[in-house]
Amino acid sequence: MGYVAATAGEEVIERAEQLFEKQRVSGDSDELGIDQLDDQLERLTAQTMSESGLYAPRLAALAVKQAQGDTVEAAFLLRAYRSTLERFDETVTADPSEMIASRRVSPAFKDVPGGQILGATKDYTQRLLDFDLTADESTDPTAEWDVDDEGDPERLTNITELLREEGLLHEPEEPDVTEPNDTTRESVTYPPERDEVLQELARGETGAVTALGYSALRGYGQVHPTLAEVRVGRLPVRIEHPYTGQPVTVTHTDVTESEAVVPVYERREDPTFAFGYGLTFARNERKAIGMTILDASIQLDSDGEPAENAEFVLDTIDGMDSFGFIEHLKLPHYVTFQSILDRIRAIRERQGLTDEGRTETAGDREGPPVAGVSDGD
């Protein structure tokens, strides 16, 4: 691809960046602080962390502030920063069953062990603008709640484990590798193993994952799952102690987990459920559910529909790839366009096309008729 850099020097580019920063600080309102973003716009920072693959709430808030709310740009900033960090250790594989859930709903079963936990959500209310939020100060609606301390929360039984105990789940094929491939260090190989698929889906752009998952539900795929459960909670992060070798908890991360089951009737004498899985950093239920649908679709290993083609899905959902390729079209392409323009002009000239787009006749090429003056005038 022919490409030349923009001219006019670094000064113009620097001033363009300064104008961008001026947009953020202009106006009469107080500057938005990192603490405010982290505390009050949690869903925005959560999306940024899940798409960047880096769990760092305050850094995510900083990236959102720098990108002026553009989550794709903010995730790009976090990924770039993450690439500069030293990796001094690897964590022990996390077990999602250890999650301490603050929210857990099961659309598949009414009565589940541990009960339905709605947690913090507006899923069941109307989408109406709340003009009370225009006030300078907000009040805590739970301030007068009388909540008794019931001790440490208990771990909840995973719904799919109940189906697995009955032999109703069709387990996906085990990967051929002993250690999962870290796709932040090594490129994805095609056809990808399931661990690579899940890693890429977990870092996918929320809108793209949701859209492709929706396409499968709308007929461009064969999967229409039932959600076994959606959980939001905290998972312990452990590393091996350098002397004892025992796992030691060093911190916790907020995650969203989604599991879905899909009926499989291929073997009529022994029908089972296949299942899809999704897990993302922080709270991002929409993306986790979309990830679940795509995981189940890709397991079909079919090229018949877009959502079932692993290579198409993984190449499409990455926000950095799509963002970069779309945005690069704004950069100068003078050489490329000039070559195309010259080619089209040459073809038109060979075919004898006029500027109006019609083919010239022999009479046209002799020149237009000239209005003469008669001898009698």
pLDDT in tens, the chain (377 residues): 444 555 666 888 888 888 888 888 877 778 888 998 988 899 999 999 999 999 999 999 999 999 999 999 999 999 999 999 888 888 888 888 899 999 999 999 888 888 898 988 988 988 898 888 888 777 888 888 876 665 566 678 888 888 888 888 877 776 666 677 888 888 888 888 888 999 999 999 999 999 999 998 887 767 788 899 999 999 999 999 989 989 999 999 999 999 998 887 665 667 788 889 999 999 999 999 999 999 999 888 777 788 888 999 999 999 888 888 898 898 888 899 999 999 999 998 888 765 555 555 544 544 444 444 444 44
Fill in the DSSP letter of residue 153.
P
Q: Which two tokens stand for residue 256?
A: 């969203």
How many CB atoms sit inside 10 A of residue 241's CB?
A: 10
* CA 273 remoteness from chain centre: 27
Say which residue the tokens 């069953």 belong to: 97
Residues in the chain: 377
To the nearest 10 degrees (0 to 180), the angle between helices 194-202 and 310-317 is: 30
The tally of CA atoms less than 13 A away on the side-chain side of residue 46 is: 20
Q: What's the confidence (pLDDT) of residue 362?
A: 46
CB 58 within 8 A of CB 42: no
pTM listed for this prediction:
0.84
Say which residue the tokens 């225009």 belong to: 134
How many CB atoms sit inside 10 A of residue 158's CB?
A: 20
Encoded amino acid at 211, one letter:
A
Give dist(CA 280, CA 351) in Å, integer: 58
Q: What's the confidence (pLDDT) of residue 267?
A: 57
Give dist(CA 193, CA 176) in Å, integer: 8
Q: What's the confidence (pLDDT) of residue 373?
A: 41
CA-to-CA dists, residue 326 to 10, 76, 187, angstroms: 24, 14, 22
Q: What's the confidence (pLDDT) of residue 166?
A: 84
Give dist(CA 315, CA 204) in Å, integer: 10
CB 67 within 8 A of CB 74: yes
What is the number of H-type helices and E-type strands within the chain? 13, 4
CB 35 within 8 A of CB 273: no
234 contact partners, CB below 8 Å, separation of at least 6 = 99, 100, 102, 252, 253, 254, 255
Q: Where are the domains of the chain?
A: 11-82, 96-117+155-176+186-317, 318-355
Give dist(CA 297, CA 309) in Å, integer: 8
